[in-house]
Structures are given as structure tokens and as C-alpha cells.
Amino acid sequence: MSQGKSTRKTVFVLNGPNLNLLGMREPEIYGYDTLDDIAGQLEDQAHELGLEVDIRQSNHEGHLVDWLHEAAADKALAVILNAGAFTHTSIALYDAISAIDVPVIEVHLSNPAAREEFRHKSLLAPVAKGTICGFGALSYQLALDATQKL
């Protein structure tokens, strides 16, 4: 039976505010890889794993909420979510993750626990399947590997 677009082999990779600036945004913290570089790495890795990745970025909270709903409607295998600063503020994202039946892996390039105090709390961590942070672009790759164990 064809699974069509609603295959559980698709992993949504959702990126929040300011991540469009990766590569030039505080590279000493976030590294020199652009989001396009990271997307290329993930596409290669997904190909090896027999997965598809759907990689998106928005500076708008509501887009991320809509895309979490879409991941559920499409029966995605998982969502890899770097919500950027919304990690520390967004009840809407907490509610969206809670509402959907798709595991969400929280990722960060930096290690928020080692940074300013306002970054120490993630509102999303309690409803995420797990969190990977502090490894730069590798955080995303580790998260994509982790989708194989879900």
C-alpha cells in the first residue's frame, strides 16, 4: 500500500527566529555554518538513512505552530525543532507540541545552560522527547540520528 506524502519517513526540521542569519550571527557562539549549509548536511544524512527532511525557518511564532500541526497531519516521523528565543518564552509552542502525536526533538547550536540566565529555562523541554544542545551544527545531525531510535 502506498503511503504517499503522509509517510512516517519525513522529518520536519523547524527553525525559529534569527536562525536565517546563521553564519554571520555571533559566529563565536553559533558557528560559521549557514542554515543552507546545515540543510545540505541534513539532506545528505537523510538520504543515507532513507529519510526525507523538510527544512523550514521562520521568524514568526505562528508559522512554527502551524508547521507543528502540519507535521502531525502529515504523520511525520519526528520534528527537530530549534525554536530559538521562543524556546524560553512560548506557551503556544508548548501547547502545540503537547497537542500533536509526533515526537519533537529540541535542538540548539549553543548550550543555553552555559549562557545568560534567561536562556536556562526551556518551556519546551518538558514536552520534547529529548534535547540536544551545545554541538553546533552537529546538534541537528545527532537529532536526525536519534529519529532512528524513536
Phi, psi torsion values for 95, nearest 5 degrees? -65, -40
DSSP class of residue 22 equals T
The three grid cell numbers given for residue 15, joined into one nine-digit string: 527553525
Catalytic residue among 30, 47, 60, 140: 30
Considering the complex, state which of residue 85 and residue 127 has its C-beta at the smaller distance from ligand DQA. Answer: 85
Query: Contacts with ligand DQA in 14-33 (CB under 6 A)?
Result: 18
Considering the complex, state which of residue 32 and residue 73 has its C-beta at the smaller distance from ligand DQA. Answer: 32
Smallest gap from Cβ 110 to ligand DQA, in A, equals 3
Is 120 one of the annotated active-site residues of the chain? Answer: no
Taking Cα atoms as reference points, which of 149, 23, 139, 8 lies closest to residue 82? 139
- Kindly give, in sequence order, each residue whose CB lies less than 8 Å from that of residue 88, ignoring residues fewer than 6 positions away: 112, 118, 119, 121, 122, 123
Smallest gap from Cβ 16 to ligand DQA, in A, equals 7
Smallest gap from Cβ 71 to ligand DQA, in A, equals 19
Considering the complex, state which of residue 73 and residue 145 has its C-beta at the smaller distance from ligand DQA. Answer: 145
Query: Contacts with ligand DQA in 65-124 (CB under 6 A)?
Result: 82, 84-85, 87, 108-110, 112, 119
How far apart are the C-alpha atoms of 60 and 75, rounded to whole Å?
23
In angstroms, the first-to-last Cα distance of the chain is: 23
Binding site for ligand DQA (CB under 6 A): 18, 82, 84-85, 87, 108-110, 112, 119
